[in-house]
Amino acid sequence: MRIIPAIDIIDGKCVRLTKGDYTTQKVYNEKPVEVAKQFEDAGLAYLHLVDLDGAKSKHIVNHKVLLEIATKTKLKVDFGGGIKSNEDIKIAFDNGALQITGGSVAVSTPELFLSWLETYGADKIILGADFKNRKIATSGWHKKSELDVVDFIKAFESKGVDYVICTDISKDGMLGGTSNEIYKEILVATKIKLIASGGVSSLQDLETLKEIGCDGAIIGKAIYEGKISLKELSALC
């Protein structure tokens, strides 16, 4: 299972939110590239980079942060937040993203998302499936839908999606454990490469996600709050 630390960006700074609420933001470092270098120095190979300004603005905002991290580290970056157009996805890849994550666009304009899948390939395009009470949420989690998360993922798997980042909004930033039952349900219903996100608070959480069969696990606040050390994560890589 891939260990994927996360960096969330607001105003060019490394922040964390609680349950996606922008009013809860806490700045951990004003220079995200420094955080990225710490991850790399610890032997981590992957990075989940989220443009929270972009998610709110509905277009990429913090592409310069992406470029700096991509050029100053060797981390394999998946980038999400505000990718809503062909121009946005081009900006993301031109600035060093290895993969992009599309969530809101897959709900609002599925034909556009599927065109990216065809153009760039399933190894480059990740479906973002962010949910609360099983229902998919979009636009920086400000908009709710009536789409069931498992049905949503199954529908896109049938159209060629290989990778999904699945985030339980109610768990995000809470350090209260992960949504294992939903993940099990998804992995039974599909053959998707599932990347679990939200609620990781301990090495045991990571071990459980590995046992379930997740392809990757995203860790955010647990690193920043010292619940899991980079040394411990390095030992898992």
Active site residues: 8, 130
Q: Which amino acid is at 47?
A: L
DSSP 149-175: HHHHHHHHHTTT--EEEEEETTTTTT-
What single DSSP character describes residue 191? Answer: -
Residue 118 CB partners (closer than 8 Å, separation 6+)? 160
Which tokens is 115 given? Answer: 């065109």
Residue 167 CB partners (closer than 8 Å, separation 6+)? 128, 129, 130, 131, 197, 198, 218
88 touches 59 (CB < 8 A): yes
The owner of tokens 């300004």 is 53
